[in-house]
Structure 1
C-alpha cells in the first residue's frame, strides 16, 4: 500500500499542519477543541472485549511514537477511544445546522437503524470480519495506522454497509454527505503547533523507522469487526451512545 512506503513519508512530512481539533490554553496545556458530530464505528476499546490484544499493542506503539518524535509534536488520543471508523455521518457546520431541529438526533438514529436493518442480509455472515494493520498512516494533521482486509469478504461487507448508509435518501436529507473514498485507519494522535518548527528530515526518518516495525514483523495484528454502532462525539477523545441507539452485529 502506497501510504506506508518510505518515499510517501518523505514527501508528505512537508505538508503536515497543526490540527484545529486541539487547542493550547493560556496556561500552556493542550485541550481538545469542540468538534461535535455523529459517526458509525466499531465499539471503542473501552467497550470492546474482543480486540484487547491488538489495542494493547497499539497503545504500546503509540507510546513508542511519542518517545521517538520531537517532544509535544503529537497529541495522543486516549487509548480507550481507539476504534475502526465504518462511516462518518455529520460534523462541523452540517452538525451545527442540524441542531436547529430538536428531533434531529432521534431522526438520525431511526435512519441509521433503517440502514442497518436493510444491510443485514449482505453484511452479516458466519465468518468474522478481520482487517490487518499493515503500517503507519500519515495524514496532514494526524497520525495513525492503516489497515487492509484479510480477505475479499471482509472488504465487501464493510463497503456494502457504507453504501447502504450513504445511499439512504432520508440520511442525505438530514445532511449526511455521501463519501465513497475509504481508507481504513485507526487514529493515534494529532499534530500540535510544534509542527510549525519541526525538522522534516528528522521526522520522516523517525516515521520510516516506526513504520518498519510493521513491515519487519512476522506477527499478524488483526482488528476484528463484530459490531457497528451509531456514536456521538463532542471532540476527538470520546465516542459515546445511548442504550437504545442503532447497532448492527456482523
Structure 2
C-alpha cells in the first residue's frame, strides 16, 4: 500500500501548501478522542491500544532540540487556534508513528475474547524486530526534515520526510514487515493507512461556527516560514512497542520490543 519514495514526497509536500490548507479547513471535524467534562474542560477520552512509535517527548534522547522547537511552535499554534477549538497535546506525548497496530473497540474486544492476546502481540512484534535488526541496524540513524504544518481531518501536526530514498525504504520496510507478519495478521492487525510521517501537536475540539480558511492558511504559512528556518532535523534511531490508554500517554515496560537503527 505504501508508495515509492518520490510519490511519497510529492504527496506530502502538497499537504503543506497554502492551497491545500484552504481546502482542508472546510473538512475538519471535532475529534472523538476528546470530550468536555462537567466543567466544560476538554479531556482525553479512553482510547486504548498498541502502536509502534519513536520514544515519546523527553524519553527521546536523540531529539531534545527538535522537541524544544516543536513545543515553541505548538504554543504559537495554540495562540492561533485557542481551546476549545484547538486542543494541544502535552509535549511529553510527541512522537512519530511507524505502524498503528490495534485500538479502541477492536482492541477491547480482542483482549476480552483472548486473555493471552497482548502476550501474543508482544511476541510477534519481537519476532518482526528480530528479523529486521540485521538489515536496519547496520546503517546510521535516519534523518527526517520537517516540511511544514499539516492540517488533518481531526488533528494538526507537522509533516516530515526522510532525506534519502534509502532511509525511506528502511522505514517502510520495517512497517511492511509488521503488517505482513502472519501472526499479527491473525490477531486482526492490518494496514489501514498510507505511511505519512508526522508528529501530532493537537486535535480539534469544539469547532467555531465559521472558519476563515484564507486567514488561517496564511497564518500557517507564516508559522512554517519561521519554524522551518531554524528547525533541527528529526532523528529516528529507535522504535518501540508502546501501549496507550488515550492520546496523551504512551507507555512501555523495559522488556517490551525495541528496534534500533
TM range (shorter): over 0.9
State the number of aligned residues. Answer: 248
Determine if contact 2:42/2:84 at 8 Å carries over to the other structure: no
* Cα distance change of structure 1 residues 240 and 76 upon mapping to structure 2, 3 Å threshold: same
CA distance in 2, matches of 1:70, 1:81: 19
1:7 aligns with 2:19: yes
The more displaced of 150-159 and 193-202 is 193-202
CA distance in 1, matches of 2:148, 2:167: 19
1:181 aligns with 2:181: no
Determine if contact 1:146/1:184 at 8 Å carries over to the other structure: yes
* Cα distance change of structure 1 residues 24 and 137 upon mapping to structure 2, 3 Å threshold: same
Give 1:73 deviation, angstroms: 1.7
1:203 aligns with 2:225: no
Deviation track 1:188-207 (CA, whole Å, cap 9, x = no partner) reads: 00001134543334333322
For residue 54 of structure 2, the aligned residue among 37, 42, 48 is 42
CA distance in 1, matches of 2:240, 2:208: 34
Unaligned runs of 5+ in 2: 1-12
Determine if contact 2:27/2:153 at 8 Å carries over to the other structure: yes
1:107 aligned residue: 120
1:16 aligned residue: 28
TM-score w.r.t. the length of structure 2 is 0.90
1:90 aligned residue: 102
Give 1:88 deviation, angstroms: 0.6
For residue 231 of structure 1, the aligned residue among 207, 232, 242 is 242
Determine if contact 1:172/1:178 at 8 Å carries over to the other structure: no
For residue 87 of structure 2, the aligned residue among 59, 66, 75 is 75
1:243 aligned residue: 254
CA distance in 2, matches of 1:127, 1:60: 28
SS at 2:174 equivalent: helix
